[in-house]
């Protein structure tokens, strides 16, 4: 039951990220990618700090007192988690924005970025993570669905933008694995705040070095910025970390493939753009991939995707 609640959190995360594409596209009319990421991740991370302080004060009475050495070790762990999570988050967010700008094709970008669904179980092997055949089948089904849903005009010539989007896919895959590594060691809200602030700092440095920052434009685009900061970043990334505590990386990646379906539905509701028959078939493949990845067989050996407790 606990895993199913966690899966619901991850589906909610995918839903928020899917509709968040609308806000991200609107924001690009007001500001450039690096400063947009700096503002939204900065606000998202800072908004979590008061909540963390309140929760820490409430838990002091029930939790055992830590020695100075243990406190120092915890701080070091938080710093490492923040640097690793924030670093790959910066890489993924930045390469995605610039990849879309260079290719000029949102459909191609959606498919190439979605390859992280397959990359997660592949990369997980190098980190000692095992996975079931059903997760692999589910991942392949989801990639086929992403292709049908996102790529409608063919790939055309491969350019540097495609390379950036592929790098972005590796970034999102690495981010899922980094969360899996630290999620049992660092409190979810603390982890979320740390990685967001690291990503914001890196994005701000890049913005100062490469972009022309206009405060008036940032204020003018406050609506998409607020949604991206407090809903897509603060709320959704926290849900991701909490959910991944009980759902293995391979399954998580397949669930996140629903993001493209929710993005397409958001276009229908908000922009009046309806899916083609091909799009509906693609959505069906993605949904089938999620269901297949959840199949569990009784086995004494514990592998990813099987919870025998």
How does residue 156 score in pLDDT terms, banded at 50, 70 and 90? low
More confident residue, 286 or 215: 215
Q: Which of 47-61, 164-178, 257-271, 273-287 has the highest mean pLDDT?
A: 164-178
227-237 pLDDT tens trace:
999 999 999 98
Verdict on whether the full-model pTM lies above 0.85: no
Instruction: Give DSSP secondary structure letters for the chain.
Output: -HHHHHHHHHHHHHHHHHHHHHHHHHHTTTS-HHHHHHHHHHHHHHHHHHHHHHHHHHHTTTSPPPPHHHHHHHHHHHHHHHHHHHHHHHHHHHHHHHHHHHH--HHHHHHHHTTHHHHHHHHHHHTT----HHHHHHHHHHHHHHHHHH-SS---S--HHHHHHHHHHHHHHHHHHHHHHHTTTS-HHHHHHHHHHHHHHHHHHHHHHHS---HHHHHHTHHHHHHIIIIIIIIHHHHHHHHHTTS-HHHHHHHHTHHHHHHHHHIIIII--PPPHHHHHHHHHHHHHHHHHT-----SS--TT----
Burial (CB count within 10 angstroms: exposed 0-12, middle 13-18, buried 19+), residue 163: middle
Look over the chain and give the mean of its residue pLDDT values, rounded to a whole number: 81
What are the tens digits of pLDDT across the range 81-107?
999 999 999 999 899 878 777 765 555
Taking 80 as the threshold, does the pLDDT of residue 14 lie above it? yes
pLDDT at 78 over 60: yes
Cβ(145)–Cβ(284) below 8 Å = yes
Give the CA angle between residues 263, 238, 208 to the nearest 5°. 80
pLDDT category at 39 given cuts 50, 70, 90 is: very high
Domain edges within the chain: 2-55+73-293
Cα–Cα separations (whole angstroms), residue 106 to 109, 118, 152: 5, 20, 10
pLDDT for res 62: 62
């Amino acid at each position: 039951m606990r895993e199913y609640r966690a899966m619901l959190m991850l589906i909610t995360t995918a839903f928020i990220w899917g509709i968040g594409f609308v806000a991200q596209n609107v924001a690009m009319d007001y500001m450039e990618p690096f400063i947009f990421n700096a503002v939204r991740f900065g606000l998202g991370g800072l908004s979590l700090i008061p909540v963390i302080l309140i929760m820490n004060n409430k838990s002091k009475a029930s939790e055992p007192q830590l020695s100075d050495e243990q406190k120092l070790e915890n701080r070091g762990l938080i710093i490492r988690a923040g640097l690793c999570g924030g670093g790959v988050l910066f890489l993924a967010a930045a390469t995605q924005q610039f990849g879309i700008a260079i290719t000029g094709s949102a459909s191609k970008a959606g498919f190439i970025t979605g390859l992280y669904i397959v990359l997660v179980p592949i990369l997980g092997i190098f980190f000692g993570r095992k996975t079931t055949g059903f997760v692999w089948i589910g991942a392949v089904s989801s990639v086929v669905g992403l292709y049908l849903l996102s790529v409608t005009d063919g790939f055309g010539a491969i350019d540097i933008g495609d390379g950036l989007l592929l790098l972005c896919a590796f970034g999102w895959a690495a981010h899922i694995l980094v969360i899996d590594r630290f999620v049992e060691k660092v409190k979810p809200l603390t982890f979320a705040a740390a990685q967001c602030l690291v990503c914001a700092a890196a994005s701000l440095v890049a913005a100062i070095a490469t972009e022309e920052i206009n405060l008036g434009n940032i204020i003018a685009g406050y609506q998409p910025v607020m949604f991206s900061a407090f809903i897509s970043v603060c709320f959704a990334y926290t849900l991701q970390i909490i959910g991944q505590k009980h759902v293995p990386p391979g399954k998580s990646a397949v669930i996140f493939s629903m993001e493209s379906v929710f993005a397409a539905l958001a276009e229908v509701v908000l922009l009046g753009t309806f899916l083609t028959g091909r799009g509906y078939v693609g959505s069906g493949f993605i949904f089938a991939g999620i269901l297949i990845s959840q199949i569990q067989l009784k086995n004494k050996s514990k592998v990813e995707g099987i919870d025998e407790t």
